[in-house]
């Protein structure tokens, strides 16, 4: 038996010690600098805290008296979310096919990718501002915004799913002499169907959430109701709206999770 | 009749996978193609139905030159060439019947394919063939619920639905257990004679090649180095085909029953 015991330590994540310590020092320096230079007005923050307490205090107890307004807002939000999800999910299919490297020629792929990148590059709120300017206040702006958002998100993930399909099935369909569309229909779509359903459910969920946000900039739905309540200092009504939004999101998450689990 | 002459397949600037291969298959003979991994067996089969583009050479099926076809003409030629795959390549999420009818996709319109409205005679043929190979009771089951042997039967039926002039089988038994793979080999041999269909089988299992086929073709490094009846495929030929590369999957067992798998 040898006298010296074996020694072992976990290998560091970055093997080069010089690089490792430079990175750590760099990150710390930047953090210090950023905190030191950003204009934090501590006095204003101090004044703001009691104000925040007052707002929350004003929200208690939540006021459900104007439930009719609340219901109308939610009805519109649901309509916006449902329509946008349906449109977005349907339209995302052709764009996803275009953006899948393995099943289209390179020029088509580049166009498809470009469309998806553009659709994804702006946050829905920015898109909503643009659409509100273009088509005016109201639910149409919300629907257009969330449709575009859905195309970008679902299209991208679906395209990645298409790029990972089992190629043997495509080969088999080519071997029987099937045309391009028939090959898509039999060899590609069945393979991405579970993912498509899961994404649609997730997107409905996410559009419902986002419809509240884009409403704040005037694109209709419960977001507009919420914004009006804040504008009129109806904190108790605003608080009621917030509570209902949380409840609705919880329910929709539960439902979408359940549906996704059922699709095998 | 299939006539291949001077077939070359080269990927980029690498050494060719197939180096001027000549092969002709007449009548309804069952031919097995043996050779080590990388010898070019799969490439050869895939060049025939153009899943892989040949670099040069000629492939004629019943007088039609396949190597230059494009678009619709290529698809029309492919529907007369059935193919059975090692990994079955079934559409897992569709039913057995849909998989079988997929063999007709070269003949029906997109709308028919979409709505699953296949002509009555296709459905008749599907049931006949499924009954013949013993999978008719699974018609409405999902393809991924079947066992390996059953799945390969679906694969064979799908290929036969095409009413092919020739059947290509790329290691059809390599994913199956020994007993099932014997069954599939027997099935393909008897179907070939019932339908008087020439069959080309890529196979790793030399014992099965000897037992179930009438002619053995040996490939090595993209060249045809043996062509003859199983009786002539002796120890010397085996060494020629596999020697120094890797041991063949099976020993030179005289009967398949004695395989030591």
Enter the ipTM: 0.87
Residue count of chain B, please give it: 261
Taking CA atoms, what residue in A is nearest to B98? A186
Q: Which of A179, A181, A187 faces B91 most closely, judged by CB atoms?
A: A187
A50 touches chain B (CB under 8 A): no
Specify the range with the lowest mean pLDDT, choosing from A103-107, B171-175, B252-256. Answer: B252-256
- Crossing angle for the helix pair A139-163 and A189-216, nearest 10 degrees? 150
Q: How confident is the model at residue A215 (pLDDT cuts 50, 70, 90)?
A: confident
Average pLDDT of chain A to the nearest whole number: 87
Residue A250, SS3 per DSSP: helix
In the numeric block, the tokens 């066992």 are attached to B147
Q: Is the pLDDT of residue B247 over 80?
A: no
> H/E element holding A27?
helix A17-37
Distance CA A158, CA A97 (A): 8
- At B245 the pLDDT is 58
CA-nearest of A86, A206, A76 to A141 is A76
B2-242: CATH class: alpha beta
For B33-58, how does the pLDDT look when each residue is reduced to its tens digit (9 = 90+)?
998 888 888 999 999 999 999 999 99
Mean pLDDT of B123-143: 92
In chain B, where are the structural domains located?
A: 2-242
Query: Which chain B residues are within 8 Å of A181, Cβ to Cβ?
Result: 110
A182 touches chain B (CB under 8 A): yes
Full strand arrangement of the beta sheet holding B30-34: B81-84, B166-170, B199-202, B30-34, B215-220, B223-228
Q: Which residue of A has its CA nearest to B74?
A: A177
**Smallest Cβ distance to B114: which of A166, A185, A194?**
A185
Residue A215, number of CB atoms within 10 A of its CB: 26
The strand order across the sheet containing B56-61 reads B18-25, B2-9, B56-61, B64-65
Does residue A2 surpass a pLDDT of 70?
no
Q: What is the pTM of this model?
A: 0.79
- Selecting from A176, A190, A191 the residue whose C-beta is nearest the C-beta of B105 gives A176
User: Which positions ≥6 away from A31 have C-beta within 8 Å?
Assistant: none
Residue of B nearest to A188 (CA): B91
Q: Residues of A with CB below 8 A from B160's CB?
A: none
CA distance A259 to chain B (A): 18
Collapsing DSSP to helix, strand or coil, B33 comes out as strand
Q: Taking CB atoms and an 8 Å cutoff, what residues of chain A touch B103?
A: 176
pLDDT in tens, A93-141: 999 999 999 999 999 999 999 999 988 888 888 888 888 888 888 888 8
């Amino acid at each position: 038996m040898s006298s010296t015991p074996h020694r072992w330590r976990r290998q560091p994540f970055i093997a080069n010690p010089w690089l490792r310590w430079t990175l750590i020092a760099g990150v710390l320096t930047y953090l210090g600098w950023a905190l030191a230079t950003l204009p934090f007005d501590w006095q204003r923050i101090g004044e703001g805290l009691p104000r925040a307490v007052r707002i929350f205090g004003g929200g208690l107890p939540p006021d459900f008296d104007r439930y009719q307004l609340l219901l109308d807002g939610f009805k519109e939000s649901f309509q916006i979310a449902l329509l946008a999800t349906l449109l977005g999910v349907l339209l995302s299919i052709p764009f996803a096919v275009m953006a899948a490297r393995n099943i289209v020629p390179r020029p088509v792929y580049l166009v498809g990718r470009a469309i998806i990148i553009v659709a994804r590059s702006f946050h829905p709120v920015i898109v909503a501002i643009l659409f509100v300017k273009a088509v005016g206040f109201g639910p149409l702006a919300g629907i257009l915004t969330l449709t575009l958002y859905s195309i970008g998100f679902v299209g991208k993930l679906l395209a990645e799913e298409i790029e990972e399909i089992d190629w043997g099935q495509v080969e088999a369909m080519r071997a029987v002499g099937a045309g391009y569309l028939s090959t898509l229909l039999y060899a590609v779509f069945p393979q991405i169907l579970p993912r498509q359903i899961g994404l649609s459910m997730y997107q409905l969920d996410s559009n419902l959430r986002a419809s509240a946000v884009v409403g704040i900039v005037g694109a209709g739905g419960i977001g507009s109701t919420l914004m009006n309540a804040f504008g009129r200092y109806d904190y108790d009504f605003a608080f009621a709206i917030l509570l209902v939004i949380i409840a609705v999101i919880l329910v929709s998450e539960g439902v979408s999770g359940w549906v996704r689990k059922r699709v095998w | 009749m299939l006539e291949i002459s001077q077939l070359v397949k080269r990927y980029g600037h690498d050494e060719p996978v197939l180096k001027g291969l000549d092969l002709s298959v007449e009548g309804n003979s069952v031919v097995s193609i043996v050779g080590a991994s990388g010898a070019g067996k799969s490439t050869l089969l895939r060049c025939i139905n153009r899943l892989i583009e040949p670099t040069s050479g000629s492939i004629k099926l019943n007088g039609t030159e396949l190597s230059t076809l494009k678009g619709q003409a290529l698809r029309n030629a492919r529907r007369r060439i059935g193919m059975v795959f090692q990994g079955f390549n079934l559409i897992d999420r569709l039913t057995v019947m849909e998989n079988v009818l997929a063999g007709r996709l070269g003949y029906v319109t997109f709308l028919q394919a979409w709505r699953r409205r296949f002509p009555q005679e296709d459905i008749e043929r599907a049931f006949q063939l499924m009954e013949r190979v013993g999978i008719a009771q699974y018609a409405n089951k999902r393809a991924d619920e079947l066992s390996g042997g059953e799945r390969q039967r679906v694969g064979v039926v799908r290929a036969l639905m095409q009413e092919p002039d020739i059947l290509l089988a790329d290691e059809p038994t390599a994913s199956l257990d020994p007993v099932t793979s014997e069954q599939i080999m027997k099935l393909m041999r008897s179907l070939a004679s019932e339908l008087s269909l020439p069959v080309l089988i890529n196979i790793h299992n030399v014992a099965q090649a000897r037992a179930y086929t009438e002619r053995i073709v040996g490939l090595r490094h993209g060249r045809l180095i043996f062509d003859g009846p199983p009786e002539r495929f002796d120890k010397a030929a085996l060494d020629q085909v596999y020697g120094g590369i890797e041991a063949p999957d099976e020993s030179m067992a005289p009967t398949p029953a004695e395989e030591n798998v």
